[in-house]
């Protein structure tokens, strides 16, 4: 008889008591499952961009130090919640066991990607085989727990696992873009040359249509050229995302002073809030997908410059987000080939 578990995993919280697994400091990562949990043999961790960037910076790019840092995080917290960014990532693996009262359509042997953050997922890392800094992926020997409330996607059989993992890791961004952008909108994507940025540009172009305008801002010419090669936007410019006035001036120029209806921020560094806010017209929408965003800076910053904009937290979950993202890769052969080249 297996122990009864909460659908939200609160039975795993060690400290502080009374909170959910994500904000908890320490959770129980004993791999004996409760009656409503799923045990996964983990193959690959996809660390979220802000988290991996910070770990890599603190390790000075040394692979062995990155491994030590990741193991230390999990040993202390029972999960991979970056202590500096508070964020996690996701994983792919094979279902090993399901609890006797678990409700779902997965069974032992199924290959899945978890679509909930590693910052709330009980995890054990036995060994780290390989670190791939260029795509934020880490191959390990280990196990993880998925709670009853935890969402997942079965890995598609029409694309490589690494490709699916890279895309599903940022699935919330293009799916939210599909919801936020309407026909005729002017849309700015800051960080448009990156993984989530390219998917957002693709969705924005689809939704805004021929009467809309999609603008790609990227930190380097290389990123801009990547987006340009896929014809993902109508306008492109290179800019430091922390240069709020520089971004504002450029968007004023490109929109004849009208600014953007929707601004999507997918960069992985701090202090990019004000560029996004200034580039957005009053009554427009700013979507902060980046986990490096300070919502205090965003809220007080918008107030400070007298901007009445709707600001949306980058919720990584959006109904149907896995389907939307995989659909985009299936629709666009050039986009899929670029993802295959860069991230698979």
Q: Please say if the pLDDT value at position 330 is more than 90.
A: yes
DSSP string, 8-69: T-GGGEEESTTS-TTT-SEE----S--TT-EEEEEEEEEE-HHHHHHHHHHTTT-HHHHHHH
Contacts with 150 (C-beta within 8 Å, 6 or more apart), sequence order: 9, 38, 114, 115, 116, 121
pLDDT digits (tens, 9 = 90+) for 3-36: 999 999 999 999 999 999 999 999 999 999 999 9
Tokens of 315: 């919720």
Q: How many degrees, rounded to 5, is the angle at CA 186 between CA 181 and CA 192? A: 80
Per residue in 216-264, pLDDT (tens digit) is: 999 999 999 999 999 999 999 999 999 999 999 999 999 999 999 999 9
Q: Are 143 and 31 in contact (CB under 8 A)?
A: yes
Structural element, H or E, at residue 172: helix 172-180
The pLDDT of 110-116, averaged and rounded, is: 94
Rounded to an integer, the average pLDDT of 119-146 is 96
Assess whether the previous peptide bond of 16 is cis (omega < 30° from 0): yes
pLDDT bin (cut points 50, 70, 90) of residue 50 is confident
Give the model's pLDDT for residue 73.
98
Question: Has residue 205 got a pLDDT over 90?
Answer: yes
Q: Is 242 helix (H, G, I), strand (E, B) or coil?
A: coil
* Residue 317 confidence (pLDDT) above 90: no
Q: What is the pLDDT of residue 260?
A: 98
Give the SS3 label for residue 156: coil
CB 278 within 8 A of CB 244: yes
pLDDT digits (tens, 9 = 90+) for 151-203: 999 999 899 888 898 889 889 999 999 999 999 999 999 999 999 999 999 99
Say yes or no to pLDDT of 344 above 80: no
pLDDT of residue 64 exceeding 80, the answer is: yes
Q: What is the pLDDT of residue 79?
A: 98
What the chain holds in terms of domains, given with CATH numbers, is 10-155 (no CATH), 172-343 (3.40.50.720)
Strands (E), 52-149: 89-98, 111-114, 123-132, 137-146
Could you give the angle at which helices 195-208 and 161-168 cross, rounded to 10 degrees?
Answer: 70
With beta carbons less than 8 A apart as the criterion, state whether 95 and 112 touch.
yes
Model pTM score? 0.84
Q: Which two tokens stand for residue 331?
A: 């629709």
Query: Looking at the predicted structure, is the pLDDT value of residue 295 above 90?
Result: no
Edge-to-edge strand ranges of the sheet holding 111-114 = 123-132, 137-146, 38-47, 89-98, 111-114, 152-154
For the chain, give the mean pLDDT: 95
Closest by CA to 40, choosing from 52, 28, 51, 31, is 31
Judge residue 342's burial from the number of C-beta atoms within 10 Å of its C-beta, 0-12 exposed, 13-18 middle, 19 or more buried: middle
Residue 47: pLDDT over 90: yes
What value does the mean pLDDT take over residues 138-158? 95
pLDDT at 114: 94
Q: How far apart are CA 300 and CA 307, in angstroms?
A: 10
* In the predicted structure, residue 272 carries a pLDDT above the cut 90: yes
Q: Is the pLDDT of residue 318 over 90?
A: no
**pLDDT, position 319:** 85
């Amino acid at each position: 008889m297996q122990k009864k578990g909460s659908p939200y995993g609160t039975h795993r919280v060690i400290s502080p008591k009374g909170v959910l697994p994500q904000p908890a400091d320490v959770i129980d990562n004993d791999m004996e499952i409760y009656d409503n949990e799923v045990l996964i043999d983990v193959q690959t961790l996809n660390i979220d961009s802000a988290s991996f960037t910070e770990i890599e910076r603190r390790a000075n790019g040394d692979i062995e130090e990155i491994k030590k840092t990741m193991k230390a995080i999990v040993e202390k917290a029972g999960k991979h919640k970056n202590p500096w960014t508070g964020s996690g990532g996701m994983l792919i693996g094979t279902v090993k066991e399901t609890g006797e009262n678990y409700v779902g359509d997965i069974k032992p042997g199924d290959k899945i990607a978890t679509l909930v953050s590693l910052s709330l997922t009980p995890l054990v890392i036995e060994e780290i085989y390989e670190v791939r800094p260029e795509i934020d992926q880490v191959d390990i020997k280990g196990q993880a727990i998925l709670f009853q409330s935890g969402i997942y996607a079965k890995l598609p059989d029409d694309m490589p696992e690494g490709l699916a993992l890279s895309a599903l890791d940022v699935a919330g961004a293009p799916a939210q873009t599909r919801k936020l952008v309407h026909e005729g909108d002017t849309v700015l994507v800051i960080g448009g040359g990156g993984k989530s940025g390219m998917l957002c540009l693709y969705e924005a172009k689809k939704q805004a249509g021929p009467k809309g305008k999609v603008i790609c801002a990227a930190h380097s010419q290389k990123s801009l050229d990547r987006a340009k090669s896929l014809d993902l936007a109508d306008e492109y410019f290179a800019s430091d995302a922390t240069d709020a006035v520089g971004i504002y001036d450029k968007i004023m120029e490109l929109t004849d002073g009208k600014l953007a209806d929707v601004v999507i921020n997918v960069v992985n560094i701090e202090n990019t809030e004000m560029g996004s806010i200034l580039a957005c017209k009053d009554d427009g929408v700013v979507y902060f997908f980046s986990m490096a965003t300070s919502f205090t800076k965003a809220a007080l910053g918008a107030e400070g410059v007298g901007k009445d904009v709707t600001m949306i937290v980058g919720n990584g979950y959006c109904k149907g987000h896995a389907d939307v993202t995989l659909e985009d890769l299936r629709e666009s052969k050039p986009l899929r080939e670029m993802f295959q080249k860069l991230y698979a």
